[in-house]
C-alpha cells in the first residue's frame, strides 16, 4: 500500500486561520487552538456589524437633521413627510450634509418645504 503524504493540507489550513488572527492579542494570534474560535467569533461580529453600520449611520443622519430643525416649527418626522410630499429627491445623508456644510441652504430647503 502506498503511503499518503498530506503534510501541506493541515498546515495550510492552520496558516490560513493564523493569518486571519494577525493582530489579535497574546496567544490568540499565535496558538492555533486558541486562534480558531477567536477568528470565527471575529468573522461573525464582522458580518453582523456590516449591517449594523448602516443602521448607525441612518440614526446619525436623523439626529443631525432633527438638531438642525431645532429652531424651526417643524420636527423631523413632519419635515421628512413634507420633503417626500414636495417630491424633493434628497436622501437623509445629503440633507444632513447640507445642514452641516451650509446652514443657509438648509434654511432655504425648510422654507421651500413649508410653503
For 98, the grid coordinates are 447640507
The CA distance from 101 to 107, in Å, is 12
Query: pLDDT digits over 80-101, tens only?
Result: 999 999 999 999 999 999 999 9
pLDDT band, residue 9 (cuts 50/70/90): confident
Q: Which CATH number fits domain 9-114: 3.30.420.40, 2.40.50.100, 3.40.50.2000, 1.10.1900.20?
A: 1.10.1900.20
Amino acid at each position: 500500500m502506498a503511503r499518503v503524504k498530506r503534510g501541506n493540507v493541515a498546515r495550510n489550513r492552520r496558516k490560513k486561520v493564523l493569518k486571519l488572527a494577525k493582530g489579535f492579542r497574546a496567544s490568540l494570534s499565535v496558538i492555533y487552538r486558541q486562534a480558531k474560535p477567536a477568528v470565527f467569533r471575529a468573522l461573525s461580529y464582522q458580518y453582523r456589524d456590516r449591517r449594523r453600520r448602516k443602521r448607525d449611520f441612518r440614526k446619525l443622519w436623523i439626529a443631525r437633521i432633527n438638531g438642525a430643525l431645532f429652531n424651526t416649527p417643524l420636527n423631523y418626522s413632519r419635515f421628512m413627510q413634507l420633503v417626500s410630499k414636495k417630491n424633493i429627491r434628497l436622501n437623509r445623508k445629503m440633507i444632513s450634509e447640507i445642514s452641516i456644510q451650509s446652514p443657509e441652504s438648509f434654511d432655504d430647503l425648510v422654507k421651500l418645504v413649508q410653503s
